[in-house]
Amino acid sequence: MVKICCIGAGYVGGPTMAVIALKCPSIEVAVVDISVPRINAWNSDQLPIYEPGLEDVVKQCRGKNLFFSTDVEKHVSEADIIFVSVNTPTKTRGLGAGKAADLTYWESAARMIADVSKSNKIVVEKSTVPVKTAEAIEKILTHNSKGIHFQILSNPEFLAEGTAIQDLLKPDRVLIGGRETPGGRKAIQALKDVYAQWVPEDRIIATNLWSAELSKLAANAFLAQRISSVNAMSALCEATGADVSQVSHAVGKDSRIGPKFLNASVGFGGSCFQKDILNLIYICECNGLPEVANYWKQVIKVNDYQKNRFVNRVVSSMFNTVSGKKIAALGFAFKKDTGDTRETPAIDVCKGLLGDGARVSIYDPQVSEDQIQRDLSMNKFDWDHPLHLQPMSPTAVKQVSVVWDAYVATKDAHGICILTEWDEFKTLDYQRIYDNMRKPAFVFDGRNIVNVKKLREIGFIVYSIGKPLDPWLKDMPAMA
Ligand code: NAD
Ligand code: UDX
């Protein structure tokens, strides 16, 4: 029986391995982690991450051919194929601080693999890593291997949160990079055999190691670039009276462009886009390509601009101050159908409003008060470390309350900011909400999900990203 071990039981390791276990009953899959609470949660009824369909898959396989454990060394030493899916945060100190990937966790995983291995192994990079990481990992493994042979593969993960299970069951492609040697080709074939149990062969792409590593950074940069492009257009739409939804619909109809990833928003978030682009920028700079680096920098700058622009719209619309006013934030997760808040635009928006003196009442169906308080007090990039290494319970931000109901959040509020596109926000009783708010009552829709016409009929002053402006907002400066 082939044995797989995955180091790192996070958003990628957990769902990915659960689907491999589901589709390959003859393979034994162990997911290991240094975080005891995380592994306990994977073994309980309350999984550590919220992802539609995940619970079902885990329940079908757990205890049969899928195991979650903190006994990292035992499972690593027994495995034939080891996936490494640990954190790769942005460095906050030293060379490349603020951009380069911090490979501390990856390196310690590699050293541990070398220490405990007693048989030949295939080591698979599942984490997103800088180009040429495989070379460094290979060196660590071979210099410490006591004669054991390791083959390194790059198999980046393309799942998106909220749709992870569907993405894993029906991937657009599976990318496997390896050495162009007989040993490398054999290792690629071994991993192909795993995926081929449910993924059509023509969707499994084999490349060299560096192409696979770079393709992951490139794919995320391209996706984020589309969002920054449409968000840049949204500012111009507001200035000209065009409607960004109509513009992106018309643009996306061009089959060369396509309709996806053209929704204007308050900004993109999530653990990958910003981190991976910063990483790409750093690699360009290190390779003497400042023009290329500057091109990609702009994608992040526009994203920051969009978040600032949103806060400025809120403040300037409300007589240039939100001091002492109650603002309801509907949604905190970085997108719908996940409880993940890593790099969510809601953090910057809430911080901006708090900076102007607002009282913020937050409701998100999947995010806990503890998480929100941590996010609002944590330093930039601190989130991307194993839980037990993150700063301990920071002091709560007093002007923030977290509630479990949209109606409670909006009661007596002066304004509402919609920050995540949860379906339930589309069907709220906005008349009831309006009746319980201070007047004039404002809605700032950062996800373009409300029916603007209906809300204006009720009496709201509505701002919707990239849509023709409410007469109220026309004379207010967009950037303070
Ligand atoms: P995560 O923080 O959810 O999970 C990483 C896990 O690794 C943590 O539970 C941590 O405790 C564990 N870990 C760290 N060092 C360890 C060690 N030495 N031994 C055992 N366990 C260790 O992160 P994630 O979102 O799953 O991302 C993992 C990697 O995949 C990152 O490189 C990320 O960029 C990449 N990625 C993420 C996504 C996504 O949607 N989240 C998608 C594609 C790729
Ligand atoms: C992304 C990539 O899509 C995935 O392939 C990769 O493996 C990890 O990074 P993820 O961050 O989970 O996935 O979600 P995604 O759906 O890409 O959304 C990222 C952010 O962009 C969210 O904040 C989302 O709200 C925003 N977004 C997305 C927009 O603002 N407009 C869009 O049109 C699409």
Per-residue pLDDT tens over the stretch 400-418: 999 999 999 999 999 999 9
Q: Could you give the residue range(s) of every CATH 3.40.50.720 domain in the chain?
A: 3-199, 220-473
Cβ atoms within 10 Å of 393's Cβ, excluding its own: 9
Using CB distances shorter than 6 Å, the residues near ligand 1 are 7-13, 33-35, 38, 72, 85-88, 105, 108-109, 127-128, 157, 159, 161, 271-272, 386
Q: Which residues pair with 208 in a beta bridge?
A: 178
Exposed, middle or buried by CB within 10 Å (0-12, 13-18, 19+), for 147? exposed
Q: Please identify every residue annotated as catalytic.
A: 272
Return the pLDDT at 471: 86
Return the pLDDT at 378: 86
Return the pLDDT at 480: 46
Return the pLDDT at 343: 96
User: How far does Cα 46 stand from its chain's mean position?
Assistant: 21
Ligand 1, pocket-test mutation among 31, 87, 334, most atoms within 8 A of CB: 87
Kindly identify the ligand whose nearest atom is closest to the C-alpha of 116.
Answer: 1
User: Considering only CA atoms, which of 26, 4, 34 is closest in space to residue 16?
Assistant: 4
* Residue owning the nearest CA to atom 37 of ligand 1: 12
Helix (H) / strand (E) containing 205: strand 204-208
State the CATH architecture for 220-473: 3-Layer(aba) Sandwich (3.40)
d(CA 333, CA 109): 30
Helices 209-240 and 290-317: crossing angle in degrees, nearest 10, is 40
Low-confidence ranges of the chain (pLDDT < 50): 480
d(CA 132, CA 144): 19
User: Considering only CA atoms, which of 446, 432, 414 is closest in space to residue 306?
Assistant: 446
User: Quick check: 416 and 328 in contact, CB under 8 A?
Assistant: yes
| pTM recorded for the entire structure | 0.96
User: Quick check: 2 and 27 in contact, CB under 8 A?
Assistant: yes
d(CA 472, CA 396): 35
| Ligand 1 center to 385 CA (angstroms) | 9
User: Quick check: 226 and 262 in contact, CB under 8 A?
Assistant: yes
User: Considering only CA atoms, which of 40, 30, 46 is closest in space to residue 83?
Assistant: 30
| Ligand 2 center to 270 CA (angstroms) | 7
**Is 33 annotated among the ligand-binding residues?**
yes
**Is 86 annotated among the ligand-binding residues?**
yes
Cβ atoms within 10 Å of 43's Cβ, excluding its own: 14
Return the pLDDT at 132: 85
Alpha helix (H) residue ranges in 267-403: 273-286, 290-317, 345-355, 369-377
CATH superfamily of 3-199: NAD(P)-binding Rossmann-like Domain (3.40.50.720)
C-beta of 262 in contact with ligand 2 (< 6 A): yes
DSSP state of 96: T
| Ligand 2 center to 193 CA (angstroms) | 29
Return the pLDDT at 397: 82
User: Quick check: 169 and 54 in contact, CB under 8 A?
Assistant: no
**Is 12 annotated among the ligand-binding residues?**
yes
- Hey, what are 410's tokens? 């909006």
* Residue owning the nearest CA to atom 20 of ligand 2: 268
Non-local (6+) Cβ contacts of 191 within 8 A are 81, 122, 124, 153, 155, 176
What phi-psi label fits residue 8: left (phi over 0), alpha (psi between -120 and 50 degrees) or beta? left
d(CA 452, CA 3): 55
C-beta of 337 in contact with ligand 2 (< 6 A): no
* Residue owning the nearest CA to atom 1 of ligand 1: 10
* Residue owning the nearest CA to atom 41 of ligand 1: 11
Non-local (6+) Cβ contacts of 151 within 8 A are 120, 121, 122, 123, 178, 179, 183, 184, 186, 187
C-beta of 226 in contact with ligand 2 (< 6 A): no
C-beta of 210 in contact with ligand 2 (< 6 A): no
d(CA 57, CA 224): 30
User: Considering only CA atoms, which of 82, 80, 118 is closest in space to residue 2?
Assistant: 80
C-beta of 419 in contact with ligand 2 (< 6 A): no
d(CA 392, CA 385): 12
User: Quick check: 449 and 220 in contact, CB under 8 A?
Assistant: no
Non-local (6+) Cβ contacts of 75 within 8 A are 5, 30, 32, 67, 69
d(CA 272, CA 140): 26
Return the pLDDT at 401: 97
* Residue owning the nearest CA to atom 31 of ligand 2: 263
Cβ atoms within 10 Å of 390's Cβ, excluding its own: 13
User: Which amino acid, one-letter code, is at 251?
Assistant: V
